């Protein structure tokens, strides 16, 4: 329990810095970004390392401040219909479809690249099936 509390306190300190930041980040749909995803509850995907970072795919841009994103992982699960498998730069990844989240653009840290357009369209189709 003490370790969990330490982790949440560490995340809250970072979260406050992100919240008060006036940094404006330009992003587009279909881009992959490292974000400060945070320390989350239960089985929600969360960030790694001391900055609670994780790469996400920007699925939908609502305005310059708000987006929908889905986390990515290198732990592919070919038999799981909720993981969309793709390859980028010779490395296998998966997008975790049910972990769709609304995020502030303040959480965006650095752009990794652009998602392959064919795969991006397929992911949007798969997301529609989840509803």
- The Cα 131–Cα 91 span in angstroms is 29
Q: Specify the 3-state DSSP secondary structure of 89.
A: coil
**Cα 111 versus chain centre, distance:** 12
- The Cα 83–Cα 126 span in angstroms is 10
What mean pLDDT is reported for the chain? 92
Its pTM stands at: 0.91
**Cα 99 versus chain centre, distance:** 8
Pick the CATH number of 2-130 from 3.30.1540.10, 2.30.30.110, 3.40.50.300, 3.40.30.10: 2.30.30.110
Q: What is the pLDDT of residue 60?
A: 97
How confident is residue 44, by pLDDT bands cut at 50, 70 and 90?
Answer: confident
Q: Which of 72-81, 91-100, 105-114 has the lowest mean pLDDT?
A: 72-81
- CA 23, 27, 65, 71 dihedral sign is negative
The answer on pLDDT for 86 being more than 90 is: no
How confident is residue 90, by pLDDT bands cut at 50, 70 and 90?
Answer: confident
- CA 32, 100, 29, 122 dihedral sign is positive
- The Cα 16–Cα 9 span in angstroms is 11
Q: What is the pLDDT of residue 29?
A: 97
The answer on pLDDT for 26 being more than 90 is: yes
Q: Show the tokens assigned to 47.
A: 């960030």
The answer on pLDDT for 78 being more than 80 is: no
CB 103, CB 67: distance < 8 Å: yes
The answer on pLDDT for 104 being more than 90 is: yes
């Amino acid at each position: 329990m003490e370790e969990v509390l330490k982790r949440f306190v560490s995340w809250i300190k970072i979260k406050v810095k992100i919240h008060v930041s006036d940094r404006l980040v330009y992003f587009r749909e279909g881009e992959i970004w490292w974000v400060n995803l945070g320390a989350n509850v239960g089985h929600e995907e969360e960030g790694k390392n001391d900055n609670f970072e994780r790469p996400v795919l920007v699925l939908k841009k609502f305005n310059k401040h708000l987006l929908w994103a889905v986390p990515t992982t290198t732990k592919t699960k070919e038999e799981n219909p909720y993981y969309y498998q793709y390859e980028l730069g010779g490395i296998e990844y998966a997008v975790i479809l049910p972990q769709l989240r609304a995020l502030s653009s303040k959480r965006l840290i650095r752009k990794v690249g652009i998602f392959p357009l064919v795969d991006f369209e397929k992911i949007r189709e798969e997301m529609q099936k989840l509803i």
